[in-house]
Structure 1
């Protein structure tokens, strides 16, 4: 039987299956008590005052921008090397994305280019904690004017930290993902966090069509004939209680999952150190990595063959790999609409061409990791 090691697999099972019984039996399937419990537990783990569950990280980011009243005429700075959703949400609001280059060694936002891209129209910076490594939010805060909001795209960073502070509370607001490729999952799903009570209240209304009270408050209230008032144009970005129930179980496993990923990331770094053509991901000196993915950098001048050929060879051996992510400024929509060019952000251009994620997840065995290491060595 051919070996098959997936790039990522969610670690779910009987616990998650049993967790869905209560909402299924109670009949409360949409946002309700399980979502509320998940939000409370997530806020406590990430040391934030407010956490609001959403349908995805994408809708979470959109909710933050809408909650900050970002719209036409505003600019939002975003790293060029990130999943397209980070840029898309800016366009959803009618604002203009301004792409900033990334540091090839961290895959995160380049501070010098950020400073060059700030204008009087800059309303916010979206700092991506790519692959689980926190961006240097303190340095970003010092580099931009005080009125500019800092939003964490923490899609990959549940459980990560910087200087002892968890991701999610480093900027003005943050959005997390629970997609199956993340360390914990609810299928699809997301979470927004903030320390700002006014922003939290506004986002809470916006995610529920702009309603002045939640469905749970209305159903449990003493006056069932009352409907909420709608003073905001909102969205339907509510998580279901089925997902909330699964999220509660997954959250209890988060620290164990990250510790296991940390151990195997260290194994990879030690075992692959003798491959001079394969750059390793940066380990944080002042924080903890969430290890959503283990993303290497294939040096085009030293590698035994082009990156894509390496990926094809590994695929033949049953090992799934992926490019780290893509350079958004090079994607067709952004090229056509905003006239961006590959060389506008050379770091992101190179990360697009030469990064390679290798398997790292909580359903791999020790033998799987050794097999990946041996396969990479066989390419020399």
Structure 2
């Protein structure tokens, strides 16, 4: 095979996104303004929620969600042990305690059977991560929890995904999405928070803008733009720029087409690699529209011809970028040392940390690229 160079992910942007930035650049309105408002409205409609608030990242969106829920010291928040570190970091930002739960090896999401055992009178929320674009069974999760415990969707990977016909972002009490370049749609950095709760939406709207009683756009377009607003809440500067909002509007219009294309090639991977007994393909459940932010397989160490890391090195030499699925937070130094956690305390998360492998899946790949990846992986077993 002639060597190719295939990135693990590339944003699919072009002339439309470039042209979309002209209006805010020419108008001079670069910070949060009319383009962000239009992006929020379109995103809310697509995900069937009444409120969407653009922010600087999914991380700041999750922090905003927890702060808006009033979570603070002495509170506990249940978090999956296998996810990106930001999911747990935002709990610490609030002064609360992350309580880790192991994951289901089949879905990589929360092991629901273990969640109920971790609920205490201090539990205020569960962060349900839709990892790699596969939604958590929120109905089953909700049935396990007391009514006062909020469900926060970490939907970083799940724009456009759905569970039983309901879009991600519409499933829990509040959700946060990512528009990082490794996601299906991007604004560079950036995120979106969604909720059906109008009081929570208003509180988060103020908190993302330093706690101001009016947004900059409202003030500048009001009768007395020279007067500063009042500040009723302790807030943050988590506003998205109008340049990003303009790009986000274009990208959002391509979201479903992007996911359809990724779904087609994910099925190709499943067909072509499904007979390899040392590779477990990602699970797809009826009624679930997978967002396919990443295609993540489990390398069975008892059957594989070589360790996962050796495979990744071999594929890198062939020009194929790979990554571990993500990391087990309880094995990271910060959390291991702070909470005195051992790797074996969450065995499924530990195994996923050591043995998952993401292979290229994005909207800048050609059919020849996908065939090249499959052929290279099949050669690993020979």
TM-score by length of 2: 0.99
| Equivalent position of 1:102 in the other structure | 103
Residue 363 of structure 2 corresponds to which residue in structure 1? 362
1:258 maps onto 2:262 in alignment: no
In 2, Cα distance between equivalents of 1:221 and 1:378: 66
Residue 174 of structure 2 is matched in structure 1 by 173
How far apart, in 2, do the equivalents of 1:10 and 1:284 lie? 27
**Aligned counterpart, 1:211:** 212
Deviation at 1:225, TM superposition (A): 3.0
1:164, 1:80 → 2: CA distance? Answer: 27
Gap runs ≥5 in structure 1: none
Kindly indicate whether the alpha-carbon contact (under 8 Å) linking 1:133 and 1:284 is maintained by their aligned counterparts in 2: no
Cα deviation, 1:311-362, whole Å, max 9, x if unaligned, reads: 1111111100000000001100001111111111111000000000000000
Deviations 1:246-290 (A, max 9, x none): 000000000000000000000000000121100000112122000
Aligned match of 1:338: 339
- Structure 2 unaligned segments of length 5 or more: list them: none
Deviations 1:84-106 (A, max 9, x none): 00000000000000000000010
Alpha-carbon offset, residue 224 of structure 1: 2.3
Distance 1:225 1:193 in 2: 31
Match of 1:232 in 2: 233
Is 1:67–1:202's contact at 8 Å kept on the other side of the alignment? yes
**Paired residue secondary structure (2:380):** coil
1:23-59 CA distances to partner (integer Å, 9 max, x unpaired)? 0000000000000000000000000010000000000
| CA distance in 2 between partners of 1:301 and 1:333 (Å) | 30
5 Å-filtered alignment, 1:1-380, equals 2-380=3-381
Question: In structure 1, how many angstroms separate the alpha carbons of the residues matched to 2:138 and 2:350?
Answer: 23
Q: Secondary structure at the match of 1:193?
A: strand
Number of equivalent positions: 380
Tell whether the 8 Å contact from 1:90 to 1:97 is kept in structure 2 after alignment: yes
CA–CA separation in structure 2 for the residues paired with 1:261 and 1:225? 49
Distance 2:226 2:306 in 1: 69
Query: Which structure 1 residue ranges, 4+ long, deviate > 3 Å from structure 2?
Result: none
The CA distance in 2 between the partners of 1:350 and 1:91, in whole Å, is 25
**Aligned partners of 1:132 and 1:290 also within 8 Å:** yes
Give the secondary-structure state (helix, strand or coil) at the position aligned to 2:209.
coil
Taking the aligned partners of 1:145 and 1:224, their CA distance within structure 2 comes to 46
How far did 1:71 drift?
A: 0.2
- How large is the RMSD of aligned CA atoms in angstroms? 0.7
Partner secondary structure for residue 5 of structure 2? coil
Q: CA deviation at 1:2?
A: 4.2
- Please give the TM-score of this superposition, normalised by the length of structure 1: 0.99
